[in-house]
Amino acid sequence: MNITQHWLNQAKKVPSDNFDTRPVEGDISLVVIHCISLPAEQFGGDYIDQLFCNQLCPEDHITFKSIYQLKVSSHLLIKRCGEVTQYVAFNQRAWHAGESGYQGRQQCNDFSIGIELEGADTCGYTSEQYIQLNRVLETLLNYYPRLSKEHITGHSDIAPRRKTDPGAFFDWTQIR
């Protein structure tokens, strides 16, 4: 895998408008692992792309009525089949972490890269996802000098009162 102008060459590009400039250019020092499924615990389809691109139709599922107006994004999504989609350039601030803190620093979106895994807190992840996640992490660690293996964490760790993802079924030992 390679990165060109902060975009992963091997990822499908689905640009989102839900990003802004990082307050400190080049301050990329954390990776946050998330999980998402739309509707909950259902996989496949384009609903995640639609959410991150402000195109989710509230009539498509009853649960979408409460989320379709959210302005959220992530840098990457790794689907269950291993396909990688990128929504926001890595040097930009994606809107994935919300109110959060890590090692005394607040607002993790300012200095992190968000990676969503298509999944749920209630089930395991696929071997294809772990393979791609490791490839992505290796590429990011090689490209961004402030990143390190010690600073890869879960959404639940940076927002413990609000979030539980990637959940108990995420196998942290699968990350090299």
Strand partners, 102: 105
Q: How far is residue 6's CA from residue 165's CA, in Å, rounded to a whole number?
A: 26
Tell me whether residue 116 is one of the annotated catalytic residues.
yes
Give the active site residue among 25, 83, 116, 118.
Answer: 116
Q: How far is residue 119's CA from residue 105's CA, in Å, rounded to a whole number?
A: 28
Q: How far is residue 139's CA from residue 151's CA, in Å, rounded to a whole number?
A: 15
The three-state secondary structure class of 149 is helix
- The set of catalytic residues is 116
